[in-house]
Amino acid sequence: MTQEPAYPTRSEPRRGVVSQISGSVVDVRFDGELPRINTALEVAWSEPRRLTLEVQHHADRHTARCVAIQETSGLACGTEVVDTGAPITMPVGDSVVGRLLDVVGRPIDHGAALAADVPRRPIHHPSPNLSAQQNEQKVFLSGIKVIDLLAPLAQGGKAAMFGGAGVGKTVLVMELIRTIADRYKGLSVFAGVGERSREGHELWLDLKKSGVIDRTVLVFGQMNEPPGARWRVALSALTVAEHFRDEAGKDVLFLIDNVFRFVQAGSEVSGLLGRLPSRVGYQPTLASEIAELQERITSVRGASVTSIQAVYVPADDFTDPAVAETFTHLDSSIVLSREMASEGLYPAVDPLASSSTLQDPAVIGERHYAIAEEVRRVIEQYRELQEIISLLGLEELSASDRKTVGRARRMIRFLTQPFAVTSQFTGHKGVSVDLSDTLDGCEAILGGETDDWEESSLYMVGTLEDARRKEEAQTKGDVA
C-alpha cells in the first residue's frame, strides 16, 4: 500500500556521545557515518526513564543535532547514545485498543504493560500512492443538525472546527466521538496534542462512562511535555490509525485536538534549532509540516480514515498563517462563532462561514441542497437587517422582512442541539438527529409552519416533533 523508506540494518548498533545540550536540543557526536534525518536515538544512561532523541539535521560531518522527545533534565555531556537505525515506532493492532499511550507508545493509563511481541510501525512514512487512494465522495453523517445540513462531513475526508478559546471546539469533538462510535460502531483514534491534563482525564472518564473506550485508542502529548513530544504525537496517533486502515481494512475515525498546538510545537522546535522565523514568527517549514500530516490522512480501497480536527484560532484571527494553511487541506470547514456562543446558541457553528466540498446537489441530493441554500439565504438576510433593527426597531421593517427575521431566528434556534457530553451541566438529555428529520424540520420552518410558535420552543431540541411537544406544553402552561 505504501512504500517504507529503507533504513540500513546493522548487526552492531552504532554509538555516539552527547556533545552539547541546549534545553530540548541535543548534539550527538559520531566517529563515522551520521544517522539519517528522523532516525530515533536512545540515550544509554542510568536513569530509569527512557529518553529518545530524533535527528533533525547534521550540524557538521560528525555531529547530529537532535530534538528530545522527553525531558532532558539529568542528561550530561559524554553520555552514550545508541542509534536505533529506524524512526520512532508505535505499537499497533488490537492490543492498543482501549489504551492511553504517549508519543512513543508507552501506556500511561496505569494499565498492564504491552507485550514485547506487539507489532510496531514507524511514525514516518509516505502517504499511499495516488493509484491506491479512493476518491469517492460519500457523506459521513454525524447526527448533529447544523453540521449535517450546512457542512456535511466526507467519509474518508478531513474536517476541521475553527474557533477561538472557549467557543466549544473540544466539546464538539467529544460529542462526535460518542455519536459516531454509536452510529458506525467503528474504531476511533484520538490525538491529544498539547492537551491539558484535566481535559485528557475528563475525556478518558467520559469515554469509559459511555462504553466507547473499547473502540478507541488515545495518544497524548500533554501541554507540560517538551515541544518534541507535542510535535510528534499527531504522527504517532496517525500511525496507529493507518495500521487499522492498511492491515485490518477497517474504517477509522481520526480526531486531533488541537492542530494549532501541533504548529505551535513545531514553531518552538524550529526556534530551538536556530532557524530564522517566517511570517508572524512561525517556522519557515510551516506549510510542509502541515502537509506531511494532512496528506497521510486519506482513504484506500476498502477502508477509510476520516479525520475531524479542532483548530484554535489565535485572537479570532482567521488570517493567521497556521489557520489559513490548514484550511487548504480540508473537505469541510466548521467555523465556530464567539457571538453565537455568547448568546448560548450551541453548537456555536456559524451557518454562513462554514462550508463543505460535498455541498453539491450531485452528492447530497437536490432537496438537501435547496433547503441548505434557503437556510443560508434567510439567515444572511436576517444578519443584514440586524443593524436596522438595532437602530430603528423591528416595527420599521416591511411585513415580508419581519416574516424573514422571525423565520431566521427560529431556524437559528432549531439548529441548536443538546449534547450528551454536556447533559450533566445543561440538564438537557443529548440527542442525535437523522438527516431526514433535520431536513423536514428546516423545511417546515421555512414554509411558515412555526411562525406562530414561541422561539424558545425550538431551542435545544432534536426534531421538529420535539419542538411541537414543547410548544404544546408551553401553550397549556400559559392557558393554565
List the catalytic residues: 169, 195-196
What values do phi and psi take at 120, rounded to 5?
-125, 155
- The residues, any chain, with a CB within 8 Å of residue 11's CB and separated by 6 or more, are none
Give the cell for residue 428. Answer: 438537557
Contact between residue 322 and residue 286 where contact means Cβ atoms under 8 Å apart:
yes
Q: Which grid cell is 291?
A: 502537509
For cell 498546538, name the residue.
Answer: 261
Contacts 24+ apart (CB under 8 A), 316-319: 316/164, 318/162
Q: Which of 27, 201, 233, 5 is nearest to 110 (CA)?
A: 201
Residue 20 Cα distances to 75, 87, 173, 267, angstroms:
10, 22, 41, 21
